[in-house]
A and B are shown apart, each in its own frame.
Chain A
Protein backbone atom coordinates (compact mmCIF):
# COMPACT_ATOMS: atom_id res chain seq x y z
CA UNK A 1 0.00 0.00 0.00
CA UNK A 2 1.29 3.43 -0.92
CA UNK A 3 1.72 6.25 1.61
CA UNK A 4 0.18 8.76 -0.79
CA UNK A 5 -3.56 9.14 -0.70
CA UNK A 6 -6.20 10.89 -2.73
CA UNK A 7 -9.58 11.63 -1.20
CA UNK A 8 -12.61 9.92 -2.62
CA UNK A 9 -14.13 13.35 -3.14
CA UNK A 10 -11.21 14.47 -5.29
CA UNK A 11 -11.22 11.21 -7.25
CA UNK A 12 -14.99 11.44 -7.76
CA UNK A 13 -14.59 15.00 -9.08
CA UNK A 14 -11.83 13.85 -11.42
CA UNK A 15 -13.95 10.98 -12.72
CA UNK A 16 -17.05 13.20 -12.88
CA UNK A 17 -18.94 10.93 -10.53
CA UNK A 18 -21.30 11.69 -7.69
CA UNK A 19 -19.42 11.08 -4.43
CA UNK A 20 -21.79 8.43 -3.09
CA UNK A 21 -21.78 6.67 -6.45
CA UNK A 22 -17.98 6.74 -6.45
CA UNK A 23 -17.93 5.21 -2.97
CA UNK A 24 -20.20 2.36 -4.02
CA UNK A 25 -18.23 1.87 -7.21
CA UNK A 26 -14.95 1.64 -5.30
CA UNK A 27 -16.40 -0.86 -2.82
CA UNK A 28 -17.70 -2.97 -5.70
CA UNK A 29 -14.18 -3.13 -7.09
CA UNK A 30 -13.08 -4.62 -3.77
CA UNK A 31 -11.25 -1.49 -2.63
CA UNK A 32 -11.92 -0.43 0.96
CA UNK A 33 -11.36 3.32 1.40
CA UNK A 34 -9.16 4.42 4.29
CA UNK A 35 -9.82 7.33 6.63
CA UNK A 36 -7.07 9.87 6.06
CA UNK A 37 -6.45 13.57 6.37
CA UNK A 38 -5.80 14.87 2.86
CA UNK A 39 -4.81 18.34 1.60
CA UNK A 40 -8.20 18.92 0.01
CA UNK A 41 -10.11 17.85 3.14
CA UNK A 42 -8.63 20.75 5.11
CA UNK A 43 -7.06 18.32 7.56
CA UNK A 44 -10.36 16.65 8.37
CA UNK A 45 -10.63 12.86 8.26
CA UNK A 46 -12.08 11.79 4.95
CA UNK A 47 -12.40 8.62 2.93
CA UNK A 48 -9.41 8.17 0.68
CA UNK A 49 -7.68 5.61 -1.50
CA UNK A 50 -3.96 5.25 -2.07
CA UNK A 51 -2.50 6.23 -5.42
CA UNK A 52 -2.24 2.62 -6.62
CA UNK A 53 -5.90 2.03 -5.82
CA UNK A 54 -6.79 5.32 -7.49
CA UNK A 55 -4.99 4.23 -10.64
CA UNK A 56 -6.82 0.90 -10.59
CA UNK A 57 -10.14 2.76 -10.31
CA UNK A 58 -9.21 5.14 -13.16
CA UNK A 59 -8.19 2.18 -15.33
CA UNK A 60 -11.45 0.40 -14.62
CA UNK A 61 -13.48 3.49 -15.51
CA UNK A 62 -11.46 3.93 -18.69
CA UNK A 63 -12.03 0.29 -19.67
CA UNK A 64 -15.74 0.74 -19.13
CA UNK A 65 -15.78 3.67 -21.52
CA UNK A 66 -16.45 6.42 -18.99
CA UNK A 67 -13.23 8.32 -19.64
CA UNK A 68 -12.29 9.68 -23.09
CA UNK A 69 -15.45 8.05 -24.33
CA UNK A 70 -14.64 7.09 -27.90
CA UNK A 71 -15.10 3.46 -26.96
CA UNK A 72 -18.68 2.21 -26.92
CA UNK A 73 -19.92 1.23 -23.50
CA UNK A 74 -20.65 -2.46 -23.51
CA UNK A 75 -23.05 -2.52 -20.60
CA UNK A 76 -25.96 -0.19 -21.14
CA UNK A 77 -28.81 -2.11 -19.57
CA UNK A 78 -29.79 -1.93 -15.94
CA UNK A 79 -32.61 -1.21 -13.59
CA UNK A 80 -34.07 2.11 -12.59
CA UNK A 81 -35.30 1.85 -9.03
CA UNK A 82 -37.40 3.84 -6.58
CA UNK A 83 -36.99 3.21 -2.87
CA UNK A 84 -39.29 4.43 -0.14
CA UNK A 85 -36.69 5.68 2.29
CA UNK A 86 -38.42 6.33 5.61
CA UNK A 87 -42.15 5.77 5.12
CA UNK A 88 -42.94 6.07 8.82
CA UNK A 89 -41.29 9.50 8.91
CA UNK A 90 -42.36 10.87 5.55
CA UNK A 91 -44.02 8.71 2.90
CA UNK A 92 -43.13 11.29 0.26
CA UNK A 93 -39.39 10.76 0.64
CA UNK A 94 -37.99 8.67 -2.20
CA UNK A 95 -34.57 7.58 -3.41
CA UNK A 96 -34.33 7.23 -7.17
CA UNK A 97 -31.40 5.60 -8.88
CA UNK A 98 -30.03 3.38 -11.58
CA UNK A 99 -28.10 0.18 -11.06
CA UNK A 100 -26.60 -2.22 -13.56
CA UNK A 101 -27.00 -4.90 -10.89
CA UNK A 102 -30.08 -4.26 -8.76
CA UNK A 103 -29.50 -7.08 -6.28
CA UNK A 104 -26.00 -5.93 -5.50
CA UNK A 105 -27.22 -2.34 -5.20
CA UNK A 106 -29.99 -3.25 -2.78
CA UNK A 107 -27.53 -5.23 -0.69
CA UNK A 108 -25.63 -2.01 -0.02
CA UNK A 109 -26.75 0.80 2.27
CA UNK A 110 -28.96 3.22 0.41
CA UNK A 111 -27.42 6.26 2.02
CA UNK A 112 -24.09 6.65 3.79
CA UNK A 113 -24.29 6.15 7.56
CA UNK A 114 -27.92 5.20 7.35
CA UNK A 115 -29.22 3.57 10.52
CA UNK A 116 -30.85 0.22 9.78
CA UNK A 117 -34.20 1.29 11.17
CA UNK A 118 -34.62 4.00 8.58
CA UNK A 119 -34.57 1.74 5.57
CA UNK A 120 -37.61 0.35 3.88
CA UNK A 121 -36.81 -1.19 0.55
CA UNK A 122 -40.51 -1.54 0.10
CA UNK A 123 -41.19 0.52 -2.95
CA UNK A 124 -38.63 -1.15 -5.16
CA UNK A 125 -39.96 -4.62 -4.59
CA UNK A 126 -42.56 -4.68 -1.88
CA UNK A 127 -45.72 -2.68 -1.45
CA UNK A 128 -46.66 -4.46 -4.64
CA UNK A 129 -44.84 -1.95 -6.79
CA UNK A 130 -42.00 -2.66 -9.13
CA UNK A 131 -40.88 -0.54 -12.03
Chain B
Protein backbone atom coordinates (compact mmCIF):
# COMPACT_ATOMS: atom_id res chain seq x y z
CA UNK B 1 0.00 0.00 0.00
CA UNK B 2 2.88 2.34 0.80
CA UNK B 3 4.42 1.58 -2.61
CA UNK B 4 1.25 2.58 -4.40
CA UNK B 5 0.39 5.66 -2.39
CA UNK B 6 3.88 7.09 -2.02
CA UNK B 7 3.36 9.58 -4.84
CA UNK B 8 0.36 11.76 -5.68
CA UNK B 9 -1.68 10.37 -2.78
CA UNK B 10 -2.48 11.76 0.64
CA UNK B 11 -3.74 9.77 3.59
CA UNK B 12 -7.21 10.63 4.86
CA UNK B 13 -7.46 7.93 7.51
CA UNK B 14 -6.93 4.20 7.91
CA UNK B 15 -6.65 2.83 4.36
CA UNK B 16 -8.50 5.70 2.71
CA UNK B 17 -6.50 8.03 0.47
CA UNK B 18 -7.02 11.00 -1.78
CA UNK B 19 -5.14 10.27 -5.00
CA UNK B 20 -4.71 12.78 -7.80
CA UNK B 21 -4.34 10.24 -10.60
CA UNK B 22 -6.17 6.97 -10.17
CA UNK B 23 -4.94 5.60 -13.49
CA UNK B 24 -1.36 6.23 -12.41
CA UNK B 25 -1.98 4.41 -9.14
CA UNK B 26 -3.45 1.42 -10.97
CA UNK B 27 -0.56 1.40 -13.43
CA UNK B 28 1.87 1.40 -10.53
CA UNK B 29 -0.07 -1.47 -8.97
CA UNK B 30 0.13 -3.42 -12.21
CA UNK B 31 3.89 -2.95 -12.27
CA UNK B 32 4.28 -3.94 -8.63
CA UNK B 33 2.15 -7.06 -8.82
CA UNK B 34 3.79 -8.12 -12.06
CA UNK B 35 7.00 -8.52 -10.05
CA UNK B 36 5.45 -10.83 -7.49
CA UNK B 37 5.67 -14.58 -8.03
CA UNK B 38 2.78 -17.01 -8.07
CA UNK B 39 2.23 -17.79 -4.36
CA UNK B 40 2.09 -21.49 -5.19
CA UNK B 41 5.37 -21.44 -7.11
CA UNK B 42 8.55 -22.56 -5.36
CA UNK B 43 12.06 -21.74 -6.45
CA UNK B 44 13.84 -24.77 -7.88
CA UNK B 45 16.76 -26.23 -5.98
CA UNK B 46 20.36 -26.02 -7.16
CA UNK B 47 22.14 -29.36 -7.57
CA UNK B 48 24.45 -28.39 -4.74
CA UNK B 49 21.61 -27.61 -2.35
CA UNK B 50 21.59 -29.71 0.84
CA UNK B 51 17.80 -29.75 0.57
CA UNK B 52 18.12 -32.23 -2.30
CA UNK B 53 18.69 -35.15 0.03
Does the CB pair B16–A95 fall under 8 Å?
yes
- Chain A: interface size category: 20 to 34
Tell me the residues in window 60-107 of chain A with beta carbons closer than 8 Å to chain B beta carbons. Answer: 76-77, 80, 82, 84-85, 90-98
Does the CB pair A80–B26 fall under 8 Å?
no
Contact with A along B1-32 (1 / 0, CB 8 A): 10011000100101111111010011001100
- Chain B: interface size category: 20 to 34
Whether B39 is near chain A, meaning CB under 8 Å from some CB there, is: yes
Closest partner residue, chain B, to A77 (CB atom): B39
Does the CB pair A111–B16 fall under 8 Å?
yes
Closest partner residue, chain A, to B18 (CB atom): A92
